[in-house]
Amino acid sequence: MTATFCPPIPILRSFDEAKAREFYVKFLGFDVTFEHRFEPGTPLYMELRLGDCILHLSEHFGDASPGVSLRIEMEDVRGFAFALNAKRYRHARPAVQRQPWGYDDMSISDPFGNRLIFCTPVLSA
pLDDT tens, N- to C-terminus, the chain (125 residues): 788 888 899 999 999 999 999 999 999 999 999 999 999 999 999 999 999 999 999 999 989 998 999 999 999 999 999 999 999 988 889 999 999 999 999 999 999 999 999 999 997 64
Give the pTM. Answer: 0.91
> Residue 79's domain is classified under what CATH number?
3.10.180.10
Strands 53-58 and 11-13 come out as: parallel
State the total domains in the chain.
1
Does residue 4 lie within any of the structural domains?
A: no
3 state SS of 15: coil
- Burial classification of residue 19, based on how many CB atoms lie within 10 Å of its CB (0-12 exposed, 13-18 middle, 19 or more buried): middle
Q: Which domain holds residue 72?
A: 11-121
Is 67 part of a structural domain of the chain? yes
Task: Answer whether residue 113 is part of any domain.
Answer: yes
Provide the residue type at 14 as one letter: S
**Could you say which DSSP state residue 81 is in?**
H
Asked, for residue 6, whether it belongs to a domain, the answer is no
Q: For residue 1, is it within any domain?
A: no
Alpha carbon distance 120, 113 (integer Å): 23
